Amino acid sequence: MTLATLSDVLRPALRDGYAVPGLVCLGWEDMRAYAMAAQAERAPVILQAGPSCRAHTPLPVLGAMMRHLADSVDVPVVVHLDHGYTLDDCRAALDAGFTSLMYDGSRKPLAQNIAETAQVAELAHAAGISSEGEIGFVGYAGGDASAGTNPAEAARFARETGVDAMAISVGNVHLQTDHAGGLDEGRLRAIEGVTDVPLVIHGGSGVPYAQRAALAAGSRIAKFNIGTELRLAFGQALRAAVNADPARYDRVSILKETEPPVTEAARAVIRNLGASGRA
């Protein structure tokens, strides 16, 4: 069993100048591809169950699947709740065997976000696992606009919540399908100047590869969440598998063909963040 907490993998990343990928899972095929990618690259990996994943598959099933995958490889695997919106979400994930809880109170007033995130951090630490919180709001491509993280508020948030990792908004956007944007490094450096907690970038798929690699090596960003670029790889592989033989109907044979391309895409993410060989 190579089950790990968020702190187990982020502390070495921060110390040694790389970042760990938080890979957004939607089903068995992609999460298995991610575990195999981590094994092949000898890298730690964070398997993440976000709201859309949890809407499709119950948390106890997801926890069992991810823990099974952790047991099948010999590199560190974090089983992470992504964007838990209530204390009940976080308790349910804890009960399902998750080793990391991310509470998202980023849409709430600062004092409420701090108080509720601190509750989740206390819950996690009492169980010997890790917690992540979010300060500032990371928006969505074609949807809600971002609200950048205020450095002074970030310092207070880190100090008063006790989180093990802090997600920030510095120009990153969820669901971005290109790499045309880029992070606001001035705001990032201002946040780094007032806190020493490992930092997390949600919406990492939209960050240019070169900037992702540079910040993984030379900033306090220890975790990049990557979902959209891997969803694109899965979708392209699925279409190719279906279109190769329109008469084929067996879902197992069709879905099996998505795993090699998604594994390769995940390996590329791991290498880009400098995490290869770090297990």
Q: Based on the residue annotation, tell me whether 196 is a catalytic residue of this protein.
A: no
Residues 186/85/3/217 CA torsion (nearest 10 deg): -10
207-231 burial, b at 16+ Cβ within 10 Å, e below that, comes to beeeebbebbeebbbbbbbbbbbbb
Cα 260 from chain centroid? Answer: 21
Q: In angstroms, rounded to a whole number, what is the distance separating the alpha carbons of residues 103 and 120?
A: 7
Judge whether 199 and 219 are in contact, CB under 8 Å: yes
Task: Name residue 89's amino acid.
Answer: D
Q: What is the CA radius of gyration of the chain?
A: 18
**Which residue, chain included where needed, has tokens 């591809």?**
33
What are residue 27's phi and psi, to 5 degrees? -170, 180
Amino acid letter, residue 168: I
Side chain identity at residue 64, one-letter code: A
At residue 270, the 3 state secondary structure works out as helix
Burial of residue 193 (CB within 10 Å: 0-12, 13-18, 19+) is exposed
H helix and E strand count, the chain = 12, 9
**Strands 130-135, 20-25: pairing kind:** unpaired
- The 10 Å Cβ neighbour count of residue 13 is 22
Choose the catalytic residue: 82, 89, 104, 164. Answer: 82
Active site residues: 82
